[in-house]
């Protein structure tokens, strides 16, 4: 069986949207520099581009998370593999996620961070699949709403492959 990737969102479309998100975020946080929390591994490409599209001071931290299983279904059971390097008490936290699917991961993260007394917690996600929502989460800054297809590229993987594709695509098997 062979796999091929069909482009869903081109690198030019992503670049344009990331610039727009960066401008919105810069305006909102102009007088209060946020902490960008890059959720590893999937968000590493998006967070790197987004950070450079923000023209106000930011701090950047990383949170390692793993959903159990290597399939294409999120189990909703998540494990923290690497915690933040510094406390977030009193900080304005902006979680940078690759994709909000069922919403379980982001809901779990927001609950976890709230126990650490930040001043605010907001979410920026590149992609959102509303068709699969199991819990309602507010995505404050959203790149694209997509249909219910498993996507790869621009940080997103299928069994650890395709993270380095510069665009978002769908895996097709034949």
Binding site for ligand XMP (CB under 6 A): 42, 67, 74, 76, 97-106, 150-152, 156-157
* 101 is annotated as an active-site residue: yes
Chain centroid, CA 15 distance in Å: 15
Per DSSP bridges, beta strands 35-40 and 59-67 are parallel
Q: What residue 22 binds from ligand XMP, Mg ion, none (CB within 5 to 8 A, per partner kind)?
A: none
Q: b/e for 79-96, b at 16 or more Cβ within 10 A? A: eeeeebeeebeebbbbbb
Q: Which is nearer to ligand XMP, 29 or 127 (CB)?
A: 127
The least CB distance from residue 19 to ligand XMP, in Å, is 23
Q: What residue 74 binds from ligand XMP, Mg ion, none (CB within 5 to 8 A, per partner kind)?
A: ligand XMP
Chain centroid, CA 3 distance in Å: 25
Q: What residue 102 binds from Mg ion, ligand XMP, none (CB within 5 to 8 A, per partner kind)?
A: ligand XMP
Closest CA to 156 of 145, 142, 141, 171: 171
- Contacts with Mg ion, residue ranges (CB under 5 A): 42, 98
Q: Which is nearer to Mg ion, 42 or 118 (CB)?
A: 42
Q: Which is nearer to ligand XMP, 74 or 121 (CB)?
A: 74
| Residue of 49, 92, 98, 101 marked active site | 101
Q: What residue 126 binds from ligand XMP, Mg ion, none (CB within 5 to 8 A, per partner kind)?
A: none
User: In this structure, are residues 53 and 168 in contact, taking their beta carbons and an 8 Å threshold?
Assistant: no
Chain centroid, CA 14 distance in Å: 13
The least CB distance from residue 135 to ligand XMP, in Å, is 9
Quote the DSSP letter at residue 73: S
Give the position of tokens 């890059």: 38
Q: Which is nearer to Mg ion, 88 or 156 (CB)?
A: 156
The least CB distance from residue 80 to ligand XMP, in Å, is 13
Rg (CA), the chain: 16
């Amino acid at each position: 069986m062979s796999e091929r990737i069909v482009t869903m969102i081109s690198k030019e479309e992503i670049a344009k949207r990331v610039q727009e998100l960066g401008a919105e975020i810069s305006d909102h946080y102009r007088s209060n520099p946020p902490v960008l929390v890059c959720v590893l591994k999937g968000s590493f490409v998006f967070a790197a581009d987004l950070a450079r599209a923000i023209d106000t001071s930011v701090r950047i931290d990383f949170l390692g998370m793993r959903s159990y299983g290597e399939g294409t279904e999120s189990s909703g059971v998540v494990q923290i593999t690497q915690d933040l390097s510094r406390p977030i008490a009193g900080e304005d936290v902006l979680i940078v996620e690759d994709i909000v699917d069922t919403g379980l991961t982001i809901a779990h993260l927001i609950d976890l961070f709230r126990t650490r007394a930040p001043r605010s917690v907001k979410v920026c996600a590149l992609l959102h699949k509303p068709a699969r929502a199991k819990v309602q989460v507010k995505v404050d800054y959203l790149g694209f709403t997509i249909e219910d297809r498993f996507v790869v590229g621009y940080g997103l993987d299928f069994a650890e492959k395709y993270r380095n594709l510069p665009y978002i695509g769908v895996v097709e098997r034949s």
